Structures are given as structure tokens and as C-alpha cells.
Amino acid sequence: METAGIHHVTAIASEAQQNLDFYTGLLGLRLVKLTVDHDDPTTYDICYGDDLGTPGSILTFLLRPNESRGRQGSGQATAISFSVPSGALDYWKDRFGSQGVASHGPVRRFNEEVLVTVDPDGLQVELVAHPGAEERGARTGGPVPIQHGIRGLHSITITERTPERMEWLLSHGLGLRRIGRDGRRTRFVAWEQAAGSIVDLIWEPEASRGTTAVGSIHHVAFRAPDEELQEEWRRWLLRMELHVTKIQDRRYFRSIYFQQAGDVLMEIATDGPGFTVDEPPERLGHALQLPQWLASHREAIRQALPKLRLPLDGLPGS
């Protein structure tokens, strides 16, 4: 079994409007879906991505306004990295500075240039400039000029005090290939060199155990092209004696979740049906979408949710 790479990353945020302003207004991602947390319909679930929210471009947030801030550490995914074209980091460093957002770098890593910042809740966000980014589609119609724009996910970073079990899961469980080491950072890549094909594993022997709350990554989802292969993945993970959930219908994809004891929560998500199942491409993110089993409670849910200023931009010509 070999995954094609990352499907999406889900993190936790405290306040919906500042999250929207950072990821759509500053980073220029598209809001592709505004819905609610299936486990708590009084809070938002916000999804960002490219024009259509294709797998490998998706970053989602669960909103936890009354939760304290988490602590990054061992047993966690600790950073989200996006691809940008070569030569774009000067633009981004100036953009961050003009908006009063601190950044560090660029620094060199695996022969790539990396600019590091944090979002309003302290989540580490990186922009990685590399030649392969130019070959990927950019988000159109946003606030960032297309020649500098984000081209999907580049990678996620996992931190471990004792990395052997995670190395085994990444290589033997998910079929990623170990391609090299840069200091304490080991890089694993998927067979398909598309957006989100990289996982970096950092060995931090002195790191304390991380806590998953506001400002931290909740889980990382990897790709399965269809439902049939997802079922194969479930049987494969069960044979590896991992605890795996039943298949869950998330409307825009189907999901299974699994985890090594004390480590990063992971997911296998199908590529389809995608975010256009309930909105046309030009209107993605324009209105609150609810699962059918909550449709009859729409007005009560709307009243309970905080009001938002939505970035009502669509595809060119919309």
C-alpha cells in the first residue's frame, strides 16, 4: 500500500474571523467550504485550498473559541508548509512585514528556501520556494499575484523524541520513501510527486510531550483515490494491528482514522466527491453548508454561530 501523499491537514483555531483574515486575506488561500463541526454544530469547520479545494491543497480548521492554547512538542505534527515558486520569498517577506506579521528566514533546507511565520494562534506556517512549484496550478482571483501565489501543500513536519515507530509507520504503513536527512530532519516522500507529497520527521530527544489544542494540528489526512482503495487501506492498517475507525461519511470525502499510541492522529480520505458536491465552483465558500441531518436546524445553528465577514471571491468571471 502506497499513498499518493497528503489529502488535507486539520488544525485548531480560536476565532473564526482572524483565521479567515490570515489565511484568505494574507496568504491568499481560497475559502472553499464553510460548514460546522459534525461533533459540535455550534462551532465552524472552515476549509481552505486552491480554486476547487483539490486534494493536496486543503487546510481545514476546527474552531474552539473556549479552549486554551496547545503546546507543540513530541508526538505531534508541528508545522504546515506550503509550496511557492522559486524567487517568491522576497515578495512574501515584504508582504508579511507590511501587515505587521513577523517572519524568520529564508533558511535553507534540503536545497530549498524556507520562510517561517506563525498564524494568529501560534501555529507554525512555512512557505517553501522550489522549482517544482511552478508546475502546479495557482489559486486565481485572490489578493496575491498569481506569479507569487501558494501552489498547494508542500509538506507537514512531525516531531518525535524517539522517531523509530513513526519512521516505521511512514515507510511500512503508508508506503512513503525515505530520501535523505538534513541535521535531525529526515524526509519521506510519496510516489506521486504532487502537492503535499512530503513528510519531514524531526528527532528532538529533549522535547516534551505536545498537547493538542488551539494553535496545534489536530490530524493529518492522506489520500486514497476512491472508496474501494480506502477499504483496502482499512484492512491493511488493521493487519498492522493499528486501531482504525469505521468508514465515516464527511460529505466531501469519506474518512477512516488511525493512530499509534501517543502519536499523531492520522486519516485516510478519499479524493472525492469533493467540495463542489453542494456548491458550484464559482460559489464555493459563499454560504454556510450543513449536512442533511442538520438541515432542519439551520436557523438555530446560524443564530448560535458568530457572524463572519466572508471573502466572497470566486473564479474569474464569476
Model pLDDT for residues 137-168, shown as the tens digit of each residue: 888 889 999 999 999 999 999 999 999 999 99
Domains and CATH numbers, the chain: 6-304 (3.10.180.10)
Alpha-carbon distance of 195 to 128, in angstroms, equals 12
Confidence check: pLDDT of 317 > 70: no
What does the pLDDT read at residue 133?
Answer: 93
Report the mean per-residue pLDDT for the chain: 94
What does the pLDDT read at residue 261?
Answer: 79
What does the pLDDT read at residue 78?
Answer: 98
Model pLDDT for residues 18-59, shown as the tens digit of each residue: 999 999 999 999 999 999 988 889 899 999 999 999 999 999
